[in-house]
C-alpha cells in the first residue's frame, strides 16, 4: 500500500514538472515572439517615418518649383518680347527676339562647321573672300562635358588667314570680330608684307555652352 502511494505521488510530481516545463517553454516562446515582433514593428515604424519625411521634403520642393516656374515664365516672356531687343534691333515676329540672340551668341551645342561658315561670311562681308579662309580642328568634346545641371562655357579655337589686304581692311576685320554678337577672343595677330599687300593671320577662340539637362531622379529610402 505504501509503495502504491509513493508511486502515485511520484507520478503526480513528474506530471507537475512536465506541466511546469511546458508552461515555461510556452511562456519563453511567447516572450521571444513578442520581442521579435516588437522589434519588427519598431523598425517598420522608423522606416515609414523616414519615408514620410522624404515625401514631405519632395512635396515642399515641388510646391516651390511650381511657384518658381510661374515667375520664370513671366520673366522669360518679358525678356523675350522686349522691343527693341538686347542689341537695339527691331523684333519681327519670332525673328531677332532676345532668345534667338542669346542662342546665336552662345550656342547650346558644339558645331564647328557652322562656326566655319559664320567666319567665312564675316570675311565675305568685309570683302576678303578672295585669299581668305577659316581654319581649325573639328574636335567634339567628350560626352561627359557636353551636358549637366550646371554646364560651363567651353572654348572652340579657330584661325583666320587673309592675304592681299590693306592695313585699313585688316583693322576693319578686327573691329567686326570685336562687334560680333558671338563672343570672340583674339589670342594673337600677325601681319606680314607691305602696306597695301599684307597677310593677316588671326588666332582666336569663341565659346558655346551646353544646355542644362534636368531629369527626375529616384531615391531609395533605407
Residue 134 belongs to domain with CATH number: 3.30.70.60
Q: How far is it, in rounded angstroms, from Cα 27 to Cα 9?
A: 27
Strand partners, 157: 205
Give the per-residue pLDDT at 144: 52
CA atoms within 13 A on the CB side of 138: 8
Give the per-residue pLDDT at 9: 63
Q: Answer whether residue 194 is part of any domain.
A: yes
For the chain, the straight-line distance linking the first and the last C-alpha, in angstroms and rounded, comes to 72
Q: Answer whether residue 89 is part of any domain.
A: no
Q: Answer whether residue 177 is part of any domain.
A: yes
One domain, residues 122 and 184: yes
One domain, residues 135 and 179: yes
Q: Answer whether residue 176 is part of any domain.
A: yes
Give the per-residue pLDDT at 188: 92
Q: How far is it, in rounded angstroms, from Cα 169 to Cα 199?
A: 11
One domain, residues 76 and 130: no
Q: Answer whether residue 216 is part of any domain.
A: no
One domain, residues 69 and 140: no
Q: How far is it, in rounded angstroms, from Cα 158 to Cα 138?
A: 9
Q: How far is it, in rounded angstroms, from Cα 5 to Cα 46?
A: 61
Per the structure, how many domains does the chain have?
A: 2
| Rounded average pLDDT per 10-residue block, the chain, 222 residues | 55 68 76 81 82 86 88 87 78 74 83 85 75 72 62 87 83 85 89 82 89 75 74
Structural domain for 71, as ranges:
1-80
Answer whether 136's CB lies under 8 Å from 183's CB: no
Q: Answer whether residue 214 is part of any domain.
A: no
CA atoms within 13 A on the CB side of 185: 9
Amino acid at each position: 500500500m505504501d509503495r502504491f502511494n509513493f508511486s502515485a505521488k511520484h507520478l503526480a510530481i513528474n506530471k507537475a514538472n512536465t506541466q511546469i516545463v511546458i508552461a515555461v517553454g510556452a511562456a519563453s516562446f511567447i516572450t521571444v515572439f513578442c520581442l521579435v515582433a516588437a522589434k519588427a514593428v519598431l523598425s517598420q515604424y522608423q522606416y515609414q517615418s523616414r519615408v514620410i519625411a522624404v515625401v514631405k521634403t519632395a512635396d515642399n520642393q515641388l510646391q516651390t518649383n511650381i511657384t518658381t516656374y510661374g515667375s520664370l515664365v513671366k520673366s522669360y516672356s518679358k525678356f523675350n518680347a522686349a522691343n527693341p531687343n538686347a542689341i537695339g534691333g527691331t523684333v519681327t515676329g519670332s525673328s531677332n527676339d532676345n532668345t534667338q540672340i542669346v542662342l546665336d551668341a552662345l550656342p547650346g551645342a558644339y558645331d564647328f562647321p557652322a562656326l566655319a561658315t559664320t567666319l567665312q561670311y564675316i570675311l565675305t562681308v568685309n570683302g576678303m573672300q578672295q585669299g581668305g579662309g577659316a581654319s581649325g580642328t573639328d574636335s567634339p568634346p567628350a560626352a561627359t562635358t557636353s551636358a549637366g545641371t550646371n554646364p560651363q562655357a567651353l572654348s572652340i579655337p579657330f584661325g583666320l588667314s587673309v592675304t592681299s589686304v590693306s592695313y585699313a581692311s585688316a583693322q576693319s576685320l578686327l573691329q567686326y570680330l570685336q562687334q560680333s554678337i558671338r563672343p570672340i577672343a583674339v589670342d594673337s595677330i600677325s601681319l606680314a608684307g607691305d602696306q597695301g599687300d599684307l597677310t593677316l593671320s588671326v588666332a582666336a577662340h569663341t565659346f558655346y555652352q551646353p544646355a542644362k539637362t534636368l531629369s527626375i531622379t529616384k531615391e531609395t529610402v533605407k
